[in-house]
Structure 1
Amino acid sequence: MVHRLPVGGGHVLHVEEHGNPAGLPALVLHGGPGSGSSPLQRSFFDPARYCILCPDQRGAGQSTPRGRIEDNTLAHLLADLRLLRQHLRIGRWLVVGGSWGATLAVLHAADQPEAVSGLLLRNPFLARAADIGAFFAAAGLPESIVHVFATGPVAAQRAAAARWWDAEQRLEGRDPVPPADAASLARLVDRYRVQSHYLRHGCWLPSEGLPACCEQVPAIPVVILQGEDDAICPPEGAQVLQRALGARATLRLVPGAGHDPSHPAMAAAMREALRTFPSGPLTAGLAEPPPAALP
């Protein structure tokens, strides 16, 4: 089932509903920002057990207008999730997200503690000023690239999008594949316009990033799955987030996995966590992380 939900400012969200309508509600938040949902993200769920809800955030995926950054901030995204839950008449849902999706998941739990039954977070992005700088350094991209998508000519935006895509693919351990055609490149330009808009504004979070917002997260089960070899969201960030969330959170490092959710080890870890979450053991079969020596 597809929902088209007007949320104000000219934005209309594209929301896909899969699985069992009577199953456990699960909200799946994509990363980016700006990337949109994909079939991979729902493939980890047992469709007989879960009602799987996959919204494309403002300006992303099949939401319209694609690539629009006006009326598109963190506050807007959180308000959209409140409206979506009301529209679907859902009391509480399990919230699942990777990278930026994990960031938004934690912030949604802090914003609406009564709405969230649990959090499953993959390779969380903490959105600290240092994290944003480290991403650009690791990708070999100048931080000034974020301004190209707001003010640059079309040709410059296309060149910047192709360069950004190539850098991300390398960081995720994939062989870069150039955009197949003009339509693919246009989608990347829109994607990175939204992503650069958020990064340019520090995702509208304090300089301390996501950990500064964890006190408002309710006492719900939280499972963090972190690829040991993630170069985009390194394990140090997941360790910091687990400490900020305290006893409610369990961190599991996934050996051999990086940022790519399709890596076999990460895919297996996601499926196992969802198989038992939230009614049974939350971390069965996942490798324990080594002791962390953090300052």
Structure 2
Amino acid sequence: MTDQALAAQTKGLYPEIEPYDYGYMPAGGKHQIYYEQSGNPQGIPVVVVHGGPGGGTSPNLRCYFNPDAYRIILFDQRGCGKSRPHASQDMSLEDNTTWHLVADMEALREKLGIDTWVVFGGSWGSTLSLAYAIRHTDRVRALILRGIFLVRKAELDWFYQGGAGQIFPDVWERFVAPIPEAERNDMMAAYIKRLNGDDRNEQMRCALAWAGWEGDTLSIEGPSENPTKFAEPDFAVAFARIESWYFKNGGFFETDNWLLENVHKIRHIPAWIVQGRYDVVTPMASAWDLHKAWPEARFNLVKKAGHSSSDPGILDGLVRAADEAVAVLTA
């Protein structure tokens, strides 16, 4: 098959749609979680779990799903997006852990009167989706996961201590620039100190460098020539502060391999895994480990793709997975 014929068969996003419902859910303490619903109110409920942590949702996340078949629920995790307070202003990360987020998802399900739902997440969203499914197995009808991230030390060392820098040395130079050479043996600790310090200018410089490093390594195409959300100051500060907080704490899991150690609890759930062969942010090794631990899950290795959900092969795989889930769940 020619490349042109293959491109013609590639599925794109569904048309843009607007929410029919949105609001804020009190989550205890000072946190309020923004959520929205779109698509078919009588359709299969699907909750979209965004990346980061701290990435927030975007309107295009509604478009991976057939709006006639799905009731599409988006929400912003604590401290980011439209949820309040925003981590770019509030200097506290109080009550912001993986298990708080899992509890928020379960509270949102109950608030919306949903019995079971499909859970769809990429990158950190795959992490949180797996954690939620392990804790609330009977509430998950199916899982659709992309860019598998298990928050293991080896993954964090790869991305923040020079491994990925071997592939993106030009971008890596910009990432290490704000940190004195004497502190570069522990880049995460050096960044955390500055992201949570009193010097607002230094905080902003480091936040933009942290966010830029991830934003510039997402796609197989490399850095974008067009401005992205990673260059927006408020987004960058929230994103960098929340990510580094979670990563410093190993995702708040009991062990380094907690997700794989508990995957046996969810192996009966229909699942789709979409992974780019050349994903630099969450390398394929973790997706492969999950695939071996969960052979029942449909594993789609996209040969010409990186981490970004907008890489054509990843986008195609996600849309097809969502369409296939409808067929499986309504058979």
> TM-score, normalization: structure 1?
0.89
Contact 1:3/1:16 (8 A) holds in 2: yes
- Report whether the alignment pairs 1:197 with 2:254: no
SS at match of 1:130: helix
| 1:53-92 pair list within 5 angstroms | 53-67=73-87, 68-92=92-116
Go from structure 1 to structure 2 and tell me whether the alpha carbon gap of 1:51 and 1:211 turns closer, same or farther (over 3 Å shift): same
Go from structure 1 to structure 2 and tell me whether the alpha carbon gap of 1:224 and 1:179 turns closer, same or farther (over 3 Å shift): closer
Go from structure 1 to structure 2 and tell me whether the alpha carbon gap of 1:91 and 1:35 turns closer, same or farther (over 3 Å shift): same
| 1:208-247 pair list within 5 angstroms | 208-217=257-266, 219-244=268-293, 246-247=294-295
Aligned mates of 2:303, 2:55 — CA distance in 1: 26
Structure 1, unpaired ranges of 5+: 282-295
Go from structure 1 to structure 2 and tell me whether the alpha carbon gap of 1:53 and 1:179 turns closer, same or farther (over 3 Å shift): closer
Partner of residue 37, structure 1: 57
Post-superposition shift, 1:72?
Answer: 0.4
> TM-score, normalization: structure 2?
0.80
Contact 2:267/2:297 (8 A) holds in 1: no
Go from structure 1 to structure 2 and tell me whether the alpha carbon gap of 1:179 and 1:113 turns closer, same or farther (over 3 Å shift): closer
Go from structure 1 to structure 2 and tell me whether the alpha carbon gap of 1:54 and 1:180 turns closer, same or farther (over 3 Å shift): closer
Deviates more, 1:231-240 or 1:136-145: 136-145
Partner of residue 289, structure 1: none
Contact 1:170/1:176 (8 A) holds in 2: no
- The CA RMSD over aligned residues, in Å, is 2.0
Partner of residue 19, structure 1: 39
Contact 2:211/2:239 (8 A) holds in 1: no
Larger Rg: 2
Partner of residue 299, structure 2: 251
Aligned mates of 1:108, 1:54 — CA distance in 2: 15
Aligned mates of 1:267, 1:204 — CA distance in 2: 30
- Report whether the alignment pairs 1:162 with 2:186: no
| 1:130-169 pair list within 5 angstroms | 130-136=154-160, 137=162, 138-139=164-165, 140=172, 141=176, 142-144=187-189, 145-169=191-215
Kindly provide the amino acid, as one letter, of the partner of residue 158 in structure 2: A
CA offset digits 1:126-166 (Å, max 9, x no partner): 10011111111225352221332223521111011111222
CA offset digits 1:165-199 (Å, max 9, x no partner): 221122122326567999x3122111211111101
Kindly provide the amino acid, as one letter, of the partner of residue 244 in structure 2: S
Post-superposition shift, 1:230?
Answer: 0.5
Partner of residue 285, structure 1: none
Aligned mates of 2:202, 2:268 — CA distance in 1: 47
SS at match of 1:143: helix
Partner of residue 117, structure 1: 141
Aligned residues: 279
Post-superposition shift, 1:212?
Answer: 2.4
Contact 1:129/1:209 (8 A) holds in 2: no
Aligned mates of 1:2, 1:59 — CA distance in 2: 18
Partner of residue 186, structure 1: 234
Deviates more, 1:172-181 or 1:212-221: 172-181
Aligned mates of 2:265, 2:83 — CA distance in 1: 29
Task: Point out 4+ residue stretches in structure 1 off by more than 3 angstroms.
Answer: 176-182
Post-superposition shift, 1:209?
Answer: 4.5
Kindly provide the amino acid, as one letter, of the partner of residue 65 in structure 1: P
SS at match of 1:21: coil
Partner of residue 275, structure 1: 323
Kindly provide the amino acid, as one letter, of the partner of residue 159 in structure 2: F
Partner of residue 108, structure 1: 132
SS at match of 1:277: helix
SS at match of 1:196: helix
Deviates more, 1:77-86 or 1:184-193: 184-193
Aligned mates of 2:188, 2:242 — CA distance in 1: 15
Post-superposition shift, 1:250?
Answer: 2.0
Post-superposition shift, 1:208?
Answer: 1.9
